[in-house]
Amino acid sequence: MKKRIIKNRITLGEAQPRVVVNENFSDFTPSTDRKKHVIQIVTIVTIFLAGITAAFYFIFLHNPKKLDQEPGRTALEDVNWDTVSTPSETGSSLNNPNLLTGIRLYNAGNYPDAISSFYEVVEGDTSDEEKSEALLYLGRIEIISENYTKGVDYFKRALKFSDKNHNAYLEIARAYTGLNDLDRAIEYIDRAIEKRPDLDDAHTAKGNILFKQKKFKAAADAYRHANKINPDNAYAHYNRALALLKIGERVEAMEELKLASTSGQGRIAYLAYSRIGSLSLEENSIEQAIKYLNLALNLDATSPEDLFNLGLAYLRKGDKDRAIDYFTKAEQAGTDDMVLLEGLAEVYSVSYNNYNKSIDLYKRVAEKNSRNVLILKKLGELYYKSRDLNAALVYFKRVTEMEPASENAHQAYLYMGTIYDENERHDDAVEAYKSALDINPRDDETLYFLGQSYKLSGDTINAISTWRKAYSVNPDNPRPLIAMADLLYSTGHLDEAQSEYSKIAEKWPANSEALFSLATILNKKGNSDDAVKYYKQVADLETDKELARKSLINLALLSADKEGLSSSEEGVSDSVVHIKKALMYDPGNTETLYALGIIYYKKQLYDQAVESFYQVIKGSRDNQETARAYNYIGKSYFKKEDYKKAVRAFSMGIEEDPANEEIRINRRAASDKYEEAISE
């Protein structure tokens, strides 16, 4: 079988499984050929790499890739010209014994003896028609040896003896096709058709030549002419379908394939079934795909492509167990099919998260071509996903060594920088990002990552300088400015941080992150009115659900402070409204419930406070958070002068967090009050 390669190759961090399409172009006898920012870096690297390498990142499994013939060939298989040819119709009976012997020897593959017999005809005393036929066979023998020019000479000599010999015109077309002189091939195939306009196979051969010329509409017309002469010419139906697909006529192409499958037998029926199955899979017509792929497998049970495609069909149907059976069979049937192994590797990675299996398959591909950089990069990415960071580094380094100045190396350096930061090797991360910048000095995302590494290594000055450079390279990217403002905030430079956040909010008024940080700084500085304004903007934008929830919590707490003391629900209406909105984002969120309890406690609604804090305890998995909730429950009971329950709550809090000194002090105070109450 001819070697196949992926057509329209796509390399992605999260590559999609492919539909493998058998694209054999059939003729008459087809051939068989720790940190928050590190997480951000990982996320951005993935998005960034996908943006660089993707022509689509398509909806999962909805943009299949196809298999085609090897480079330098079109999709056509060579025409079996002996089938196209028919006996000469010259009125001669062609009974020359030497000619008949030569034909018999030719058909038996004994070409040297056949040549001798044919020469005796050419040099003997016989009719022009028989000499023309002998020269025709001599030319065919040259064509078998790919001596196309010499073959043309014989065929033209044949025409001198009999210009009615349509087979000579066909053979000249064949020779010129072999010489890739397709214009002359068309000229002679047209002459053959002039001699025999009723020969459907000649029209099919013309379609094949036009297909090679990429004149797909003209090719489709030629095939249609062949089918007008012979509606049962399955090869013409099939080839016309492929030509129609080239010009986007998918519906009509599907009809031609169905005609090919019903009028053809054996190989051509198989190809038609297989092609209908793969096209149906591309169009997400899953049941039809399953039907026709099974029909194809009934004729060729070991076809790796059809087994793979049938696995994809069941995968899309949601039957992952049945799909894996066909993927396993496809792997067994196509052990040396590198394209298939790549497709299987993608499936196991994307659909099953089986990184070890995917790595194994990619390694088998790499063994066949150890310099396939794309495969090496995929191996690095898979080792990274499976958290074998040392192995990932090995493959990414190989990429940088093999293509030191390429985009692949640039991407590899980005991964290396991320891995070094995760391992707290920040100096190495800095060098990796610098190497990426050597390849693309004006890549603002790489500058952003480099700034993060400087920050982690404690080099604040270089971090801020690098982020400023990233912003100068791409003023439309707010991330470097936000990172710089965050660093100023975390190091206590609140005024400078406020200034930077204000600039970001002015230029990007929908940037929730900057607005939230600005509100938080203003709140810390006691400017609650402006803080409320910015928190409301974040809550109204809802571009970041988590920040919207936190903003609503802060709005609730600030509202509670303004509302003053109250002994009824009406007195905390604004606060509670904000909290209830926050709970709509995450009904069981313990942080939100804790804030609600604080509000009730501040408003002296102690029963409601206790209820809220018990909800926190029920949903929390954090011992310190649970301890703080018990502390407030104890304080609420203390305020209600129920000192026994207060002591019990404080004791539970100490069990959760023995190091919390505040709870110990509160328990002593509650115990004293409880003892006083008993003594009285």
| pLDDT, tens only, 218-237 | 999 999 999 999 999 999 99
Most confident of 42-46, 291-295, 559-563: 291-295
Name the average pLDDT for the chain: 86
Tallying the residues shown for the chain, one arrives at 680
Check residue 233 and give its pLDDT: 93
Cα–Cα dist 591/588, whole Å: 9
Cα–Cα dist 679/490, whole Å: 52
Check residue 612 and give its pLDDT: 95
Provide the 3-class DSSP secondary structure of residue 25: strand
Residue 564 confidence class, pLDDT cut points 50, 70, 90? low
> Cβ of 659: how many Cβ atoms within 10 Å?
9
Cα–Cα dist 162/133, whole Å: 9
Tell me: pLDDT of 240 over 90: yes
Residue 265 confidence class, pLDDT cut points 50, 70, 90? confident
Cα–Cα dist 655/637, whole Å: 18
Per residue in 62-110, pLDDT (tens digit) is 333 333 322 222 234 444 555 555 555 443 457 899 999 999 999 999 9
Pairing of strands 66-68, 5-7: antiparallel
Per residue in 465-512, pLDDT (tens digit) is 999 999 999 999 999 999 999 999 999 999 999 999 999 999 999 999
Tell me: pLDDT of 14 over 70: no
**pLDDT (mean) for 125-153:** 95
Check residue 565 and give its pLDDT: 52
Tell me: pLDDT of 131 over 50: yes
Check residue 61 and give its pLDDT: 33
Contacts for 162 with CB less than 8 Å, ≥ 6 apart? 88, 90, 128, 129, 132, 168
Residue 249 confidence class, pLDDT cut points 50, 70, 90? very high
Tell me: pLDDT of 520 over 50: yes
Per-residue burial over 634-651, b = 16 or more CB atoms within 10 Å of its CB, e = otherwise: bbbbbeeebbebbbbbbb
Q: Identify the bridge partners of residue 76 per DSSP, sorted by sequence position.
A: 25
**Which of 215-224, 257-266, 319-328, 562-571 has the lowest average pLDDT?**
562-571
The answer to whether the CB of 555 falls within 8 A of the CB of 539 is yes
Crossing angle of helices 338-350/373-385, nearest 10°? 20
The answer to whether the CB of 132 falls within 8 A of the CB of 158 is yes
Within the chain, how many helices (H) and strands (E) appear? Answer: 35, 2
Q: Which residue has the higher pLDDT, 543 or 25?
A: 543
Cα–Cα dist 550/568, whole Å: 25
pTM attached to this predicted model: 0.71
Check residue 282 and give its pLDDT: 94
Cα–Cα dist 650/497, whole Å: 40
**pLDDT (mean) for 134-144:** 95
Dig out the tokens for 508 from the structure: 């990007």
Residue 563 confidence class, pLDDT cut points 50, 70, 90? low
> CA 495, 500, 504: angle at the middle one, nearest 5?
145
Check residue 74 and give its pLDDT: 27
Per residue in 158-173, pLDDT (tens digit) is 999 999 889 999 999 9
Per residue in 182-195, pLDDT (tens digit) is 999 999 999 999 99
Check residue 442 and give its pLDDT: 93
Tokens 């080792």 belong to which residue? 383
334: part of which helix (H) or strand (E)? none
